Structure 1
Amino acid sequence: MVRDAYLRSSTPSSKSGAGFMELINQTGQDDRLIGVRSDLDGMVQLHSHSEDANGVMTMGEIEGGVVIPAGTTHLFARGGDHLMLMGMTAPLDQGQEVPVTLIFETAGEIKVMIPVDSER
């Protein structure tokens, strides 16, 4: 189940944006989010922030997907795991709803409409 999902642009004229949500695994078995796609032009990837040994924060694509253990919730939030939208030719407009497909190893494809809320 997807809860409290939203997208936002990096800046009003940006060619990139990010998506945040809670993913709830209500099943009795672990699952893994292995991909994401959207009708938007450009690409969507699973990204995360991490801190190196020197305290420097970096962001990059999550290799191998995100495991969501049975009966738990995984938070996609600022400063952590998130959806990264890149190479967009049109900005995300406040209130716009964007179709996004989340691809799970076990559950398969789940289509959701995610609103743009750049005020959050």
Structure 2
Amino acid sequence: MISRILARFSAIFGAALLSTSAYAQVSVTDPWIRATVPVQKSTGAFMQVQSAAPVRLVEVRTEVAGRAELHEMAMDGQVMRMRRVDGIDLPAGKPVNLATGGYHVMLFDLKRQLKEGENVELTLVVQDAARKRQELKVAVPVKPLTYSVHAGH
């Protein structure tokens, strides 16, 4: 009886460890969201994302916005255009920058002002080649309206 209980506990504990390591495959560094003024309804979120295995970032969610979308800024002739993308590939072991002027996250229909110094929780959803999805929750600091990574902040 005790051996069955120990075996069952080991199986559950092992599954929990595997689940934890699956989430640990994707890491996020230097996340930030640009602060907003009271009437502003959208803003951007930026970060560097890296995965140990090849996956695709396919969705972002947050409670502070009506919707969150993955976007890309790219030149279209002589004009820089922003467009929604269905996903962003995260090659194994290679960091992918979600930054101004390239891939990034847009938050639309903001439910409130985002103020400098607070943290906003984002949920990143990645999908592997077998279409298995995993979620990663990230606490993202809100930076000033004038914040720029290039300005040495």
1:45 counterpart = 2:69 = yes
Deviation at 1:50, TM superposition (A): 1.2
State TM-score, norm by structure 2. Answer: 0.71
For residues 123 and 113 of structure 2, what CA distance do their matches in structure 1 show?
Answer: 20
1:116 counterpart = 2:139 = no
Mark the structure with the bigger radius of gyration. 2
Q: Which has the higher strand share?
A: 1
1:60 counterpart = 2:60 = no
| Residue in structure 1 matched with residue 43 of structure 2 by the alignment | 17
Structure 2: which 5+ runs fail to align?
A: 1-26, 148-153
For residues 101 and 90 of structure 1, what CA distance do their matches in structure 2 show?
Answer: 18
The residue type equivalent to 1:12 in the other structure is: V
State TM-score, norm by structure 1. Answer: 0.89
For residues 65 and 46 of structure 2, what CA distance do their matches in structure 1 show?
Answer: 19
Q: Which has the higher contact order (CA 8 A, sep 6+)?
A: 1
- The percentage of aligned residue pairs carrying the same residue is 34
Deviation at 1:35, TM superposition (A): 0.5
Query: Deviating runs (4+, > 2 A) in structure 1?
Result: none
For residues 141 and 34 of structure 2, what CA distance do their matches in structure 1 show?
Answer: 9
- Pick from 77, 80, 84 the counterpart of residue 99 of structure 2: 77
State the Cα RMSD in Å.
1.3
Deviation at 1:103, TM superposition (A): 0.1
Structure 1: which 5+ runs fail to align?
A: none
For residues 59 and 68 of structure 1, what CA distance do their matches in structure 2 show?
Answer: 20
The residue type equivalent to 1:66 in the other structure is: I
Q: Which has the higher helix share?
A: 2
The residue type equivalent to 2:37 in the other structure is: P
